[in-house]
Amino acid sequence: MRTSIATVSLGGSLTEKLTAAARAGFDGVEIFENDLLAGPLTPEEIRARCADLGLTIDLYQPMRDIEAVPEAEFARNLRRARHKFELMRRLGTDTVLVCSSVSPLAEDDDALAAAQLSQLADLAQEFGVRVAYEALAWGRHVSTYDHAWRIVETAGHPALGTCLDSFHILSRGSDPKGIADIPGEKIFFLQLADAPPLAMDVLQWSRHYRCFPGQGGFDVAGLLRHVLSAGYDGPLSLEVFNDVFRQADAGPTAIDAHRSLLVLQETVGLARPPAPVVPTGIAFAELVTPDAEPVSALLGALGFARTARHRGKPVDLWQQGEARILVNTGPAVRRDGTALAAIGLESPDPEGAARRAEALLAPVLPRRRTPEDARLDAVAAPDGTELFFCAPTTPQHPGWRADFTDTPGRLPPGTGVLRIDHLALTQPWHQFDEAALFHRSVLGLHAQESVDVADPYGLLRSRAVTTPDGSVRIALSVGPAPTEDGAHAQHIALAVEDVVAAVRRFREAGGRMLRIPANHYDDLAARFDLAEGELETYQDLGILYDRDAGGEFRHCYTRTVGRVFFELVQRDGDYRGYGAPNAPVRLAAQHTAKRLTGG
Amino acid sequence: MRTSIATVSLGGSLTEKLTAAARAGFDGVEIFENDLLAGPLTPEEIRARCADLGLTIDLYQPMRDIEAVPEAEFARNLRRARHKFELMRRLGTDTVLVCSSVSPLAEDDDALAAAQLSQLADLAQEFGVRVAYEALAWGRHVSTYDHAWRIVETAGHPALGTCLDSFHILSRGSDPKGIADIPGEKIFFLQLADAPPLAMDVLQWSRHYRCFPGQGGFDVAGLLRHVLSAGYDGPLSLEVFNDVFRQADAGPTAIDAHRSLLVLQETVGLARPPAPVVPTGIAFAELVTPDAEPVSALLGALGFARTARHRGKPVDLWQQGEARILVNTGPAVRRDGTALAAIGLESPDPEGAARRAEALLAPVLPRRRTPEDARLDAVAAPDGTELFFCAPTTPQHPGWRADFTDTPGRLPPGTGVLRIDHLALTQPWHQFDEAALFHRSVLGLHAQESVDVADPYGLLRSRAVTTPDGSVRIALSVGPAPTEDGAHAQHIALAVEDVVAAVRRFREAGGRMLRIPANHYDDLAARFDLAEGELETYQDLGILYDRDAGGEFRHCYTRTVGRVFFELVQRDGDYRGYGAPNAPVRLAAQHTAKRLTGG
């Protein structure tokens, strides 16, 4: 179906919004009145701009406080409406949104509302305009979709229909089932928005916290199914008021928005993008660094061996168990120190995975390879991390591994690292919801609950996206307003069988773990009845401990190199978390370490 | 009374928090457990640090999910408590906060709760500790202060009392009157917090949106009166969870916090700082600039005359009607272009005003003057703006004006500027609530409602602080996350009798007003029935129009010089606003103008 977006959903000038909507692939826009009023373009210029961009103008909105008012007031309202219909003619759009009144003058009189809306529709018809009447969730007398529909039905005017808005319907807990009983041709417009489950004043919730379908907690797809079975065939249009999106660049937000509509259409069977290909493991994590020495020293102490080197690029492969880390000293895009730049995802169908990513608007990365190199499909995640889709490597089909030449030599004993347990990526502050939707829809991962974590300098929010079996786990987090150096830490967590043994070997190799304050161990002593001597060992080695109903978690952290540090984790039983209760301790310890080293 | 603050109310490391609390003049602190756990200082070191800073440790908190649980669970809880009591002994604090349980294991059994809290108090006594039991607003079975008190009363244990928290009590709409019936010696602790009136889930409201007394909507003073009449004589302690304060520097937040407690004590009659001296007018606004030419040209076109020059400093006085603007090209602290650096407030008692400001922790500014200069008391507002308290100038008592030597010459005709209507100051993003409290308490101004204004690049929040007669009006606003150049605009609004005539004269003098898009005038035509030709005139001159029940408002804006622009405003009837409906149009037009000039 045709897709559309209200200009209020995006940040920037009207020109920037229209350009972003067109580039992201929307077919049309709703012009939000304030965006027109505040901008320098005349209605004719906006119309021409949209035509140039291939956008239709599907709706002009909103017209407020029209109906069920005393006669003199209604006369003023009709005068106002005439001006706006004239404007719409210049703009070249034929549908106007009328919200149910919040005016103290409005009377609780459906017959009066229907009669006045009918008069409004008479006037609209003169201008070739249709009126779409919508119940605001906080409307004075009309606040539910079925009530708005009853008034429209009573009016029985061909130029008067209803507009449905998923936020207004679902935020009130209305049952959307009744939508299917509205004749499809009387649903003049459909606005879609999701929202996080917040128990708060519905007006504030609507004005500041709406998000794109799939980013929140509403069953937007369920609602859409009812609208479709009613026979609606107009555009699917996003109307999202969100404080963060207002401040973000319109371009990425529009892409995020359009992706959410594509996924929604897939969910209800309106679109069939290539099926998701769930990754089966992490093939590698790639660090870029201007100076390989500090990272190499750290990897060496962690028991990794430099096992191979890329045939044509300055990229080393470090390996231990199934954990593979590439260290790239080539001319990477990012020159701001050591960073986690790319993730190789093992995929049963790399080309299929890339096709889905591309269909869902992930930027496809140019292949930086020589003709001999293995084909590697790659896309960019919203935070810029490169995601490579890799076939599993086997001796018969070495895949990406064939681009590397083995380095001769005996393997060091290692520290018992088994595989990469998870990767932690800090997101730009305005892309947290976008990132979760991306990983869920493009990669087919499951998004877990968000958790708040107290950092000494502000709250962090963290959310993991994983495969059901835990073979791929990515922890996304977003921090307080960026610090002066702007760089947020990323980390690679390595699974070990015995973290105590691993840290001891790391130490013998000259490594130093992040120092954890003694107070943490006092607290563990208070909370858990651990074996004699266990806590002393953990304290000595800098190991943190957590336990939940499923099992136990022991973990510790290396010092940070550039933006990157490593974590060693030992999971026992069915512990599926990430040691969130210990995160404030770790963050504070990292701040302390930074102060001590002046870094 | 003694004042205290919970470490969770401030951002930074524990050391930073303690230092900030001591510098702001608090007598003590509550140690929030996570701040201790995450930090490198041992309990003994924290104790010593507090002693060095002259801070007592008034409370250790919180202990959770203790009471009304099955026996085996309670045994584990006692074991945990013993560890914490031991820790408190090392910390040197004798009161612990126990929050009502939120555990699914907790039973709805007051007798069991009382019996187990009594056992806990037995154990506490061994360590010289008192247990203060508090009802969380979202406690599983105990969520009101009177319920918590009934359990404490039932237990009847000397080491068990209650803790009252204004947020938990007022957020639930409980009547605080009953507090007066609790024996004062059984109120072991009092925590104070305010909050903005948000209709939202109480747990989220509490964890993220608390603020200091006087910054929100609760009657904290009324509650405190009940607590005092009960006979409570412990510390007044602030416990404020706030996402913004967590990210802000601890130093200014602590001062803000302590100021709020001083004002609260004044309100209930516990303290008598010097009485507020409400300013009676704006003596002058002072611009600092590295280059006087652009500002001088603008002031000249606006009809201002350079009437005098400071005897000893490179400061010119520009005047028209009662509007006086100083242009300072001296070595000002800020060298980042033209900025509004200082405001002269006419005060019936400048010394008294300064004494109050100092008593309420406003930084007193060193007097940069020669022995001949008039005495000028000055303090810094939270945003750094210097506030001078000036006696009204009369020919007999010229005051600050005596420092200026008249410039000979004839006055130009002027544009009809009468006085400074208001000053608009953009606040640092984390100081919006602080600024309103400052202006209210230190200057005795009234704070009006906050309004949200849509800027193309994010929402702004704006709030005016005024004298009742409007002789002093300051509009405080806070914008989205700072832009790259970091500088937010400030402006000086000048009252004129006839804005049309004023703009015409401004134009004749070569001035150019900010261009307002034609769409605004189409909208005015739709909304208001203005006289024939009126809109055309406004559109030609760039004048915006608003009307409310009180009267009419016509206003327009100059281009921006550095961070500063001017507004001309004509108020008719009893219009008391600032043209907020037009603010998005103005903001968008300023962005457009900036793009066009590449500025």
- All residues of chain B having their beta carbon less than 8 Å from the beta carbon of residue A459 are 208, 243, 246
B411 Cβ contact partners less than 8 Å away, ≥ 6 residues apart: B305, B307
- A199–B198 CB contact, under 8 Å: no
Contact (CB, 8 A) for B547 and B528: yes
Give pLDDT tens digits for B69-93: 999 999 999 999 999 999 999 999 9
Q: Is the predicted pLDDT of residue B278 greater than 70, yes or no? A: yes
Question: Which of B34, B39, B519 shows the shortest C-beta gap to A39?
Answer: B519
Question: Among the listed ranges A163-172, A345-354, B103-112, B446-455, which one has the minimum average pLDDT value?
Answer: B446-455
pLDDT at A332: 58
The pLDDT score that the predictor gives to residue A355 is: 96
Q: Which residues of B touch A120 (CB under 8 A)?
A: none
Could you tell me which residues come within 8 angstroms of residue B234 by beta carbon, excluding any fewer than 6 positions away?
A: B2, B58, B187, B188, B189, B190
Q: CA nearest A14 in B: which residue? A: B456
Name residue A191's amino acid.
Q
> B481 vs A481: CB contact, 8 Å cut-off?
yes
User: Using a CB-CB distance cutoff of 8 angstroms, which residues of chain A are in contact with residue B207?
Assistant: 452
Q: Does the distance separating the beta carbons of A522 and B38 come in below 8 Å?
A: no
What would the 3-class secondary structure string for A196-233 be?
CCCCECHHHHHHHHCECCCCCCCCHHHHHHHHHHCCCC
Q: Which residues, other chains included, contact B393 with Cβ-Cβ below 8 Å and sequence gap of 6+?
A: B283, B399, B400, B401
Distance CA A172, CA A178 (A): 14
Mean pLDDT of the region B488-503: 94
- Is A12 close to B79, i.e. CB distance below 8 A? no
- Asked if the domains at B281-406 and B417-597 fall in one CATH topology, the answer is yes
Closest listed residue to residue B427, CA positions, set B450, B445, B443, B444: B450
List CB contacts (< 8 A) between A518 and chain B: 42
Tokens 């001891």 -> residue: A504
- Please state, in angstroms and rounded to a whole number, the distance separating the CA atoms of residues A193 and A241: 9
CATH architecture of B3-267: Alpha-Beta Barrel (3.20)
User: Which pLDDT score, from 0 to 100, does residue B362 have?
Assistant: 95
Contact between B130 and B95 under an 8 Å Cβ cutoff? The reply is: yes
- Describe chain A by its helix, strand, coil percentages, rounded to 5: 35, 25, 40
CA distance B16 to chain A (A): 10
Report chain B residues whose CB lies below 8 A from the CB of A200. 198-201, 204
| A205 min Cα distance to partner chain B (Å) | 9
| Backbone angles phi and psi of B159, in degrees to 5 | -95, 10
Query: Taking CB atoms and an 8 Å limit, are B13 and A79 in contact across chains?
Result: no
CATH class of B281-406: alpha beta
* Closest chain B residue by Cα to residue A77: B527
pLDDT computed for residue A478 by the predictor = 86
Mutation site, A18, A46, A523, A544, interface B, largest B CB count within 10 A: A523
**Minimal C-alpha gap between B506 and chain A (Å):** 23
Q: Which residue does chain A place closest to B208, by CA atoms? A: A459
- Among chain A residues, the shortest Cα distance to B523 is held by A37
The residue type found at A403 is D
Mutate to test the interface with B, among A519, A521, A535 (most CBs of B within 10 A): A519
Question: Of A208, A456, A526, which is closest to B12 when you measure between CB atoms?
Answer: A456
Q: Is B165 marked as binding a ligand?
A: yes
* Element of type H or E holding A188: strand A187-192
Q: Is A491 annotated as a binding residue?
A: yes
Domain boundaries, chain A: 7-267, 281-406, 417-597
Q: What are phi and psi of A274, to 5 degrees?
A: -50, 140
Q: Is A516 helix (H, G, I), strand (E, B) or coil?
A: coil
* Radius of gyration over every alpha carbon of chain A, rounded to an integer in angstroms: 28
CA distance B340 to B353: 22
Contact state of A34 with B204 under an 8 Å Cβ cutoff = no
Work out the widest C-alpha separation in chain A, in whole angstroms.
Answer: 93
The region of weakest confidence among A416-420, B37-41, B195-199, B376-380 is: B195-199
Q: How large is the C-alpha radius of gyration of chain B?
A: 28
**Mean pLDDT in chain B?**
93
Q: Which chain A residues are within 8 Å of B587, Cβ to Cβ?
A: 38
HSE-CB at A326 with a 13 A cutoff on CA atoms is 24
Q: Which of A37, A89, A198 to probe by mutation at the B interface, max B CB count within 10 Å?
A: A37
Which pair of tokens denotes residue A490? 């990323």
For the cut 60, the answer to whether the pLDDT of residue B486 exceeds it is no
The distance of B509 to chain A (nearest Cα, Å) reads 26
Nearest chain A residue to B83 by CA: give it.
A526
User: What is the C-alpha separation between B561 and B297, in angstroms, rounded?
Assistant: 11
In which band, very low, low, confident or very high, does the pLDDT at B336 lie, cut at 50, 70 and 90? low
Distance CA A264, CA A2 (A): 13
**Closest C-alpha to A177, from A229, A138, A214, A232:** A229
CB distance A83–B526 less than 8 Å?
yes
Residue B276 has a pLDDT of 95
Q: Is the pLDDT of residue B366 over 90?
A: no
Q: List chain A pLDDT tens, one digit each, 599 residues.
A: 999 999 999 999 999 999 999 999 999 999 999 999 999 999 999 999 999 999 999 999 999 999 999 999 999 999 999 999 999 999 999 999 999 999 999 999 999 999 999 999 999 999 999 999 999 999 999 999 999 999 999 999 999 999 999 999 999 999 999 999 999 999 999 999 999 887 777 887 888 888 999 999 999 999 999 999 999 999 999 999 988 888 888 999 999 999 999 999 999 999 999 999 999 999 999 999 999 999 999 999 999 999 999 998 999 999 999 999 999 998 755 556 889 999 999 999 999 999 999 999 999 988 766 667 777 899 999 989 999 999 988 888 888 999 999 998 888 889 999 999 999 998 887 788 889 999 999 999 999 988 888 888 888 889 999 999 999 999 999 876 444 454 578 899 999 999 999 999 999 999 999 999 999 999 999 999 999 899 999 999 999 999 999 999 999 999 988 889 999 999 999 999 999 999 999 999 998 888 776 54
CATH of A7-267, one of 3.20.20.70, 3.90.1150.180, 3.10.180.10, 3.20.20.150: 3.20.20.150
What does the pLDDT read at residue A598? 54
Which CATH number applies to B417-597?
3.10.180.10
| Residue B124 per-residue DSSP state | H
Question: Within 13 Å and on the Cβ side, how many CA atoms surround A229?
Answer: 12
Burial class (CB in 10 A: 0-12, 13-18, 19+), A222: middle
H-helix or E-strand spanning residue A161: strand A160-165
Question: Which amino acid appears at position A421 of this protein?
Answer: D
**Could you tell me where the DSSP H helices lie in B159-247?**
166-171, 202-208, 220-229, 243-247
* Tens digits of residue pLDDT in B204-253: 788 888 899 999 999 999 999 999 999 999 999 999 998 888 888 899 99
Residue A208 known to bind ligand:
no
Distance in angstroms (rounded) separating the CA atoms of residues B549 and B171: 34
* Bridge partners of residue B303, in order along the sequence: none
B191 is in an annotated binding site: yes
CB atoms within 10 A of CB A468: 10
- Judged by CB atoms closer than 8 Å, whether chains meet at B591 and A518 is answered as no
Predicted confidence at residue A487, as pLDDT, reads: 59
User: A493 to chain B nearest CA, in Å?
Assistant: 21
Shortest Cα–Cα distance, B200 to chain A (Å): 3
pLDDT at position A369 = 62
Question: CB neighbours (10 Å) of residue A485?
Answer: 10
pLDDT value of position B315: 95
Q: How high is the pLDDT of residue B81? A: 98
Contacts of A27 (CB under 8 A, 6+ apart): A2, A3, A4, A54, A55, A56, A235
With residues binned 3-state (H G I as helix, E B as strand, rest as coil), the percentages for chain B, rounded to 5, are 35, 25, 40
Nearest-Cα residue of chain A relative to residue B45: A519
Q: What is the pLDDT of residue B513?
A: 95
Take residue B489 and report the two structure tokens written for it: 């605009």
| Chain A residues lying within 8 Å of B589, measured CB to CB | 38, 40
Helix (H) or strand (E) holding A500: helix A499-508
Token pair in block for residue A362 = 């992930």
CB–CB of B437/B431 below 8 Å?
Answer: no
In contact, A126 and A81? CB cutoff 8 Å: no
Q: How many CB atoms lie under 10 A from the CB of residue A248? A: 22
Give the list of residues 6+ apart from residue A60 with CB closer than 8 angstroms, or none: A30, A31, A33, A84, A87, A88, A91, A93, A95, A96, A97
pLDDT digits (tens, 9 = 90+) for B548-590: 999 999 999 999 888 899 999 999 999 999 999 999 999 999 9
Distance (Å, whole) CA A162 – CA B429: 41
The whole-angstrom separation of Cα B180 and Cα B177 is: 6
Side-chain-side CA neighbours of A431 within 13 Å: the count stands at: 21
B560 phi and psi, to 5 degrees?
-95, 135
Contacts of A452 in chain B (CB under 8 A): 207
